[in-house]
Amino acid sequence: MSLDPERESNGIKIIHRAIELGVNYFDTADLYNKGLNETLVGKALQSKRKEVVLATKAGNQWRPDGSGWDWNPGKAYIIKAVEESLRRLQTDYIDLYQLHGGTIEDPIDETIEAFEHLKQSGKILHYGISSIRPNVIREYVKRSGIVSVMMQYSLLDRRPEESVLTLLQENNIGVLIRGSLAQGLLVGKTPKDYLGYTAAEIKIAAEAVNICVKKDRTATQTALRYVLQHPAVTAAVVGVSKLEQLEEVAGTLGTPTLQAEEMKILQDSIPAKIYTEHR
């Protein structure tokens, strides 16, 4: 999502370097840049398709006049959308196809039928959802064959720790984390109000991250370590737009794990919130 389609060569260079560094999961969506992000990713991965796990998403339908998009989790739309994604990605199958959102009012069984149909036809290998809503996640866990859930999780958004992460771990469903740097607020961005926290509270949490920085672990890597150390988490999906950002993010797995006292410093720096909606 962070790659600029107008700087295609830079995006391709970043993706190829990521593969060299051991990154093998690439996540896009038909929504990003009105499909141009898929086109860029497809071009970059064309010669390396077998080396990677390629994921994209559907459910947000662009209006004909380009003024915005509408939510559409219907079977007919999803089956049509996958064809466009396959074309843009220059591939004949998608490793992980995800519903890009979801509400409890959706025709969930119809959506599941669409993904199962695409799986049976070989156009996708697996499917999952991208959602932070516990009530939606529970329904898909009960009623579908999802293999993953993408959700927001960071030191500044510990709501998934309340119950969702445990539920997914118990059901052997992978957890893909986005927003682990909290829009950069944990790693140097000017503090601002965020998810019900005040700028002053955000500043304290960012200072705690800095306290836990080591000679061989930066603030970014420390914030990523926090989410990666939860046993339910499969991967952190991090957007980068520069090679130096990529090098730092990809180097996280070579850094020291957070010790118990460091986890306590981080968790004590800001009170955890719980979900107030979509429970």
Residues tagged active-site? 32
- Ramachandran category for residue 219: left, alpha or beta (phi over 0 → left; psi -120 to 50 → alpha): alpha
Strand-pair category, 94-99 with 53-58: parallel
Cα separation values, 99 from 28, 75, 77, 79, 155, Å? 12, 11, 12, 12, 25
- What is the DSSP secondary structure assignment for residue 95, as one 8-state letter? E
Q: Which two tokens stand for residue 6?
A: 């107008």
Helix ranges restricted to H, the chain: 8-20, 36-45, 75-89, 108-120, 134-143, 164-170, 199-211, 219-228, 243-250, 260-268
Cα separation values, 101 from 3, 72, 125, 173, Å? 21, 10, 20, 17
With beta carbons less than 8 A apart as the criterion, state whether 185 and 177 touch.
no
Angle at 165 between CA 21 and CA 140, to 5 degrees: 100
Q: How many CB atoms lie within 10 A of CB 141?
A: 17
Return all residues near 188 (Cβ < 8 A) that are at least 6 apart. Answer: 206, 219
Return all residues near 23 (Cβ < 8 A) that are at least 6 apart. Answer: 250
Half-sphere exposure of 77 (CA within 13 A, CB side): 18
